[in-house]
Amino acid sequence: MFFDLTYLLALIVVLTVHECSHAWAATQLGDPTAERAGRLSLNPLRHLDLFGTLMLFFVGIGWGKPVPVNPRNFAKPVRDQALTALAGPAANLILAFLAGIPFTYLAHTSVFWGFSGALLDVSLLLFLFNMFPFPPLDGSKFYALFLPRRYQERYHEFLDKSMSYFVAFMIFDLYFLPSVLGFSLVWTTVSQLAFWLKTAILVIV
């Protein structure tokens, strides 16, 4: 899907909004690190990671440049880190709703109709995928907000140690599991959830 030019452009927009939203949230919560690094911007070049972009094309797993955050600048580090992490997926969900409006009401022959559809699809996929509770995804930091304080340290140790396992699982899921089960467990789940959420959005708008 991402090899289509329309979806590639949509992906650039979605990643840019996603990362800029992290920077905006961190700045609003008292951490100027991202702003000083030039990340409080809608310029895609400030957010695209060269290696992450190449991985998207050659491996099927890609990412934007992580937004630098210094939790020491937050008044409430656990809460504010969680809110900063949530800002990216939340922006993608809002973008999906906004894209759903022209997708619903424009003529199907319109160029912008096709782009709005791509924007809607990509926004939902990144929203759902990033809400999984595995590092380095945003959900892993957001769900820490709901853990009792006595488990916080142990949970952050889990985040530090488990990222490589998650990447290995994703590669296994994308390239080996389909040969056994005939489908990718992660992307089948995300795609199905995205379909239901897309249907709900189009009903609402």
Q: Any idea which residues carry the catalytic annotation?
A: 19
| Residue 19, helix vs strand vs coil | helix
Cis peptide preceding 71, ω within 30 of 0: no
Q: Tokens representing 161?
A: 């140690």
Find, among 38, 44, 49, the residue nearest to 12 by Cα: 44
Compute the distance between CA of residue 199 and CA of residue 186 in angstroms, rounded to an integer. 20
Q: Among all chains, which residue has been given the structure tokens 């809400």?
A: 131
| Distance separating alpha carbons of residues 201 and 51, to the nearest angstrom | 33
